[in-house]
Structure 1
C-alpha cells in the first residue's frame, strides 16, 4: 500500500512539473516598465486540458481572490503566488476548485494569472490559462498600497479563461 502511494505521488509530481503548472509556467515572464507582466503564451498542455474540460476562451466564473482572505474587505494581495477559490463551475471544473497562479502589483492595477486548477474531488492539478478581471477599474489598487502589495476593495473577481496572456 505504501508503494502505491509513493508511485501515485511520483506520477503527480511528474505531471505537475511537465504540464506547465505554477512552478514552471510562470518562469521567464517579461515585466513591462510599469511593473505589469508582458505577453505570455498559454502552454499547449493547458490548452488541451481546458478543451477536454470544456473550458472555452471567454467563459468565466466568480472566484474569491485569496483563499486566506475570503469575503474580507478590503484585502491585501502580495506579489507572488496566490491560491484563489472558484465559486461557480467553469466547464467541467466544479466549484469550489482551487486556482493557483501569480500576482503582479507593480502596475496601476493588480494582474492575476492562473496556471493551474485543483479539482474539488481530488486528482492532480490541471494546467489552465485564466486571468482575474473585474469591471469599472475595480482591480485598481489603493494609492496607499506599499511596493509589492495591493490593497483592493473587492475580495472577488471573475476568473476568465484565455488562450494567451496579453
Structure 2
C-alpha cells in the first residue's frame, strides 16, 4: 500500500513527531536501557494497524545492502524494508539508532518513511530468529561486524 492510501490522519498527526534516541540510559553491559515509545508513535501504529510482534525484513544499512560481513557503527542508521510491514511497502526507509556496546548489536527504529510519503513515527527493533544481532568485534571502538546485511524487523510497544 502506498502512502497516498495511508489514512490522512496519520500523515497529518505524525509530521515532525517521533521519539529520538537521546536520553537512553546505557546498561552495565554497554547496551541501551529501557525506553518508552512516544505517544505519537503508538497513535500512528494504532492507525496503521501495526501491532507488537508484526514483522518484516530489512536491509540494515542502506549503504551496505546485499553484503556479508557488514560493519556497523554506534549512531544513526538508515535501513529499508525488503517486504511489506502492514501498509508500509518494500523500500520504505527506516530511521533509527545502533548500539554496539553490549553482547549483541541493538538497533531501534523510531521513524518510517514510505517511498512516496511523509515520515511516520514508529517503534520497531531489528532481531534475528534466535534473538539479538550476533556480532564480531569491529575494526575500532564503537563498531561491530554483522554476518548478514539483512535482519528481521519487529514492531514493539516499548523498548526493553
Coarse TM-score class (shorter-chain normalised): 0.7 to 0.9
Candidates 65, 69, 72, aligned match of 1:70: 65
CA RMSD of aligned residues (A): 1.9
The TM-score normalised by the length of structure 1 is 0.84
Q: For residues 48 and 35 of structure 2, what CA distance do their matches in structure 1 show?
A: 22
* Secondary structure in structure 2 of the residue aligned to 1:69: coil
CA contact (8 A) 2:62 2:80 kept: yes
Question: 1:89 and 2:84 equivalent?
Answer: yes
Query: Which range moves more in the overlay, 76-85 or 51-60?
Result: 51-60
Q: For residues 79 and 143 of structure 1, what CA distance do their matches in structure 2 show?
A: 13
Q: Which has the higher helix share?
A: 1
Specify the alignment match of 2:74 in structure 1.
79
Mapping for residues 11-160 of structure 1, pairs under 5 Å = 15-16=15-16, 19-21=17-19, 25-122=20-117, 124-136=118-130, 139-143=133-137, 145-160=139-154
Q: For residues 88 and 130 of structure 2, what CA distance do their matches in structure 1 show?
A: 27
* Structure 2 gap segments, 5+ residues each: 1-11
Q: For residues 142 and 28 of structure 2, what CA distance do their matches in structure 1 show?
A: 15
Flag the 1:50–1:144 CA change in 2: closer, same or farther, 3 A. closer
Number of aligned positions between the proteins: 149
The TM-score normalised by the length of structure 2 is 0.87
Q: Which has the higher strand share?
A: 2
| Displaced runs of 4 or more, over 2 A | 135-138, 143-146
Flag the 1:57–1:78 CA change in 2: closer, same or farther, 3 A. same
Q: For residues 144 and 26 of structure 1, what CA distance do their matches in structure 2 show?
A: 22
CA contact (8 A) 1:138 1:152 kept: no
